[in-house]
Structure 1
Amino acid sequence: MSSPLLRLVVLYGGVSAEHDVSRITAAHVLAASDRSKYALVPIGIATDGVWHRNDAAAEALAAGDDLGNSLAVEGPVVNPIEVIAGDGAAETVVLPLLHGPHGEDGTVQGMLELLKVAYVGCGVLSSSLCMDKGMAKEVAARAGIPQCAWLTLRHGVDDPAATAARAVAELGLPLFVKPANMGSSVGVSRAGSAEELDAAITEALKYDDTVVIEEAVTAREIEVGVLGNGVPDTTFPGEIRPGSDFYDYEDKYITGAAQLVIPAELSDDAIAEARELAARVFVAYRCAGMARVDFFYEEGGRGWLLNEVNTIPGFTPASMYPKMWEATGVEYSDLIDRLVELARETYRRRSSFSIEH
C-alpha cells in the first residue's frame, strides 16, 4: 500500500488589516502546490475569527479554474483543533499564510506548538520579535547590526507630544512613523513637519499600542530572501524602486507602480555583504524556515542598514521573496517543497527534546 499524502493545511485570511493580502497569497500557493505530494486543506480565517474549510477552492484550482486574484474565506465552519489534527492517518504540516497580527506574530505558532504539529516558518519567539519593530530594533542594536536611528512611543506610557518633540530634535525631519506590530506598510506615514508627525502618530496608533519613529534616509531599498534552519541559504538581493514617496500599501498591492529589479545592480562585494548580513540577522533573531530581510543601502554613506525582517513575506509568484529565489535557482513549487521539509525537520528536532530531568 502506498503511504497517504502529506496533509498540507494552508491557513489564510486572518484577523488583521492584512487579511486581503493573505487571501491573494493563498490562491497562488494552493494553485502551485504539488497534488501528487500533498492533500491540500485550505482553511480561511474570517475577520471575526471564525475558521472555514474551503475545499471547493482547492478543487476548483486543481481543475484549472481561475478564481481571480484572491481566495474567498467561505465554506463550512470548522473547529481549529479538529481540522489541524485530522484523523491521524496522515502526517500534517501547517503552512500559515497569515500576514500581520494574529498570524505572523507568534500567536498561531504558539497554538500549533501546543497542538504538537509541524508548521512552516519561524517559531514563537522569532515570529513575535520580528513582528514588533521596536523590540526587533533593540535586539539588532544588541547584536551590533547597523540600522536607522529610531525612537519608540508606547500608548499610555510615553507622552506623544514630548516624544514627537524629541524625535524632531534628535532625528530631524522628515521622519517615518510605523505601527510596531503591522506589515505591508499598513499605517506607515512620512512626516515632513511637526504637524504631519502628530497626525502620523495618531494614524499609527489606530493599529497598535506601540509606534516606531525612524529617521528618513536617502538610500536604495534592497531585500534578501533567507531559507533554512541553522546555517541558512540566501538569495541574490533584489531592489525595490518605489512608484511614490516610499514603498507603501498602494504601491505594493493596488497600483503596482513599484519596479522590482532582480538581481539588484550591485557590485560583487556589496552583494556578498548583503547576503552575509541577511544570514547574520536571520540567526540573531532565531528565525527558522524562511524570512525576507529588508535593508536600506546608503551608497557612499553608512552602507547596509537593517530595515526589518518579514517572517511570512508576500508569497505570490510576483512577490519579491519567490522572485528572488527564482533568480537564485529555486522555482516557486520547489520553494514550497523546501519549506515543508524544513518544517518537518524542525518538528522532528523539537519533538526529540527530553521532558525529564
Structure 2
Amino acid sequence: MSSDRQQARDGARRGDGQRPPVRVGVLFGGPSAEHEVSCASALGVARALTGDGYRVVAVGITRTGGLRLVPDAVLAGYLHGSGAERAIDDRLTVAGPTVELRAGRQRGTAVVTAVDAPGTAHAELDVVFPVLHGPYGEDGVVQGLLESLGVPYVGCGILASAVGMDKVAMKRALRAEGVPCTPHVSFDGQTYQATEDPEKLVVGLRRPLFVKPARMGSSIGISRVAEGDDLAEAIEEALRHDNLIIVEQGVTGRELECGVLGGARPEASAVGEVRVTGGWFDYQQKYLGDSDPMIVPAVLPDDVTERIQDLSIRAFAAIGGWGLARVDFLYDEAAGELYVNELNTMPGFTAHSMYPKVWAAAGVGYREIVDRLVALAFARHAQRPTGPQDPR
C-alpha cells in the first residue's frame, strides 16, 4: 500500500460509533454549461457518502450563482430512492431555501446559514466535496472561496484547478515538464475579429482540426473541422463559450483515459478506451447515447499501459494536482506515439462516467474512491499554515 493511501486511511475522520459522523457538504450545479452533469455526478457522490460515518448536506448552486440548501427530507428521497438506469436522468435538483457559506466557529469548519435569518445556522460542515464541472467550479473560483473559509475540501487547489481548466495554460505546463501534447495554437476573440482570413491563425496545423473553448468541458462548444469545413463557423461557436480559443491538430488514433488518485504520491488506475463515432467523443455520446462507448480495461500491450500510467502521474504533477484527475490521451498506434489531450480535475462521477470505471477495473470501488478523496482533503488541510498568514 502506498504511503498516500495509508495517509488517506489514517487521516479519514470516519464515525466509529464513538465519534460523530463527518459532515460533508456536497456542492453541485453551478452557472456553467455543465450544470446538469454536475447534478448527476453529485447524486452518485452523495449516495456513496450516505451512512457509515458520514452525514451529507447538499448545497446546490443556481445558474446565476445563488446557493440553495436541499432540505433533508428531499435529499433523503434522492439518496434512498431507486435511481433511473441512466445517470444523466437521475440527478439532484437545485432547490430549497437561499443560504450562504461562512467560516464556522470552530477552526476548519464551515457553516451553512440562512440569508433571510442572519445568524441562523442550518448545518455545519467538516469538509466540502465540490462536485462541480466547468467554469466557476472546476477552475479555482470555488476553491478560492473554500480556502478563504479555511475548510477542508476535496480535489485540486486553486492553482491546479485553474491550470487544469485552461487548456492553453495546461499545455504550457505539460510541455515544460516534457509531457507530449498535440500541435496547437491559441488566440482570443479580439485577435480573431482583427484577422481577415482565419486560416492565417492556424498556419502549420493539418486538418482535421479541433476548435475548442479554452475553459470549458464535456465537449461543449467543440467542433471538428475537416477539409472543406468552415473554420470561421467553428471558431464563432467556440467563442460563444469563451473568449480564449485553442485549435488542436487532430490525431488519427485511439482515445484513451486514465484516472489519478492521491496526493504527494498519487496512483494511476487501469486504462479505458472510448470508441467514438463521427470522429470525436461529443456531448451526445458522453451522456445521452444509447450504447456505452467505453471499454474498460482497454486492450493494449503492457508497455503502452505502463507508459500511459506514468504520463498520467507526470501530467498530474505538472499542474500541481491533488486528490484526483482524469487524464485523456490520443494514441497514434501506427507511430507508437502518445499525446496527453487534457486533464479534468473534477471528472464526471455519474454511473456512465469513465473515472469510476477505470478505478473499478483497478480494484477500487466507488465508495473507496470517495472515502479516499475525503481523507485526502483532511490530510492536505492538516498541512496548511496556522501562523500569522492564516486569516483565522
**What is the TM-score of this pair, normalised by structure 1?**
0.94
Change in CA separation of 1:89 and 1:174 when aligned onto 2, cut-off 3 Å: closer
Match of 1:8 in 2: 24
The equivalences for 1:1-357 within 5 A come to: 2-55=18-71, 56-66=73-83, 69-81=90-102, 84-85=110-111, 92-157=126-191, 159=193, 161=195, 164-193=198-227, 196-257=230-291, 259-301=293-335, 303-352=337-386, 355=389
SS at match of 2:220: coil
Shift of 1:151: 0.4
Q: What are the superposed Cα offsets for residues 274-332 of structure 1, whole Å, 9 maximum, x if unpaired?
A: 10110011111100000000010111315110100000000012310001111101111
Contact kept in structure 2, 1:34 and 1:333, CA below 8 Å: no
Contact kept in structure 1, 2:40 and 2:350, CA below 8 Å: yes
Provide the rounded CA distance (Å) in 1 between the counterparts of 2:196 and 2:155: 39
Contact kept in structure 2, 1:30 and 1:58, CA below 8 Å: no
Q: Which structure has the higher relative contact order (CA within 8 Å, separation 6+)?
A: 2
Amino acid at match of 2:31: V
Contact kept in structure 1, 2:219 and 2:283, CA below 8 Å: yes
Q: What are the superposed Cα offsets for residues 107-161 of structure 1, whole Å, 9 maximum, x if unpaired?
A: 0000000000000000000000010001111111221111100000112245564
Match of 2:6 in 1: none
SS at match of 1:309: strand
Aligned residues: 356
Change in CA separation of 1:198 and 1:158 when aligned onto 2, cut-off 3 Å: closer
Shift of 1:45: 0.6
Provide the rounded CA distance (Å) in 2 between the counterparts of 1:302 and 1:20: 37
Provide the rounded CA distance (Å) in 1 between the counterparts of 2:212 and 2:292: 20
Shift of 1:256: 4.3
Provide the rounded CA distance (Å) in 1 between the counterparts of 2:59 and 2:103: 12
Amino acid at match of 2:52: S
Amino acid at match of 2:56: L
**What is the TM-score of this pair, normalised by structure 2?**
0.86
Structure 1: stretches of 5+ with no match in the other structure: none
Provide the rounded CA distance (Å) in 2 between the counterparts of 1:81 and 1:355: 19
Amino acid at match of 1:93: V
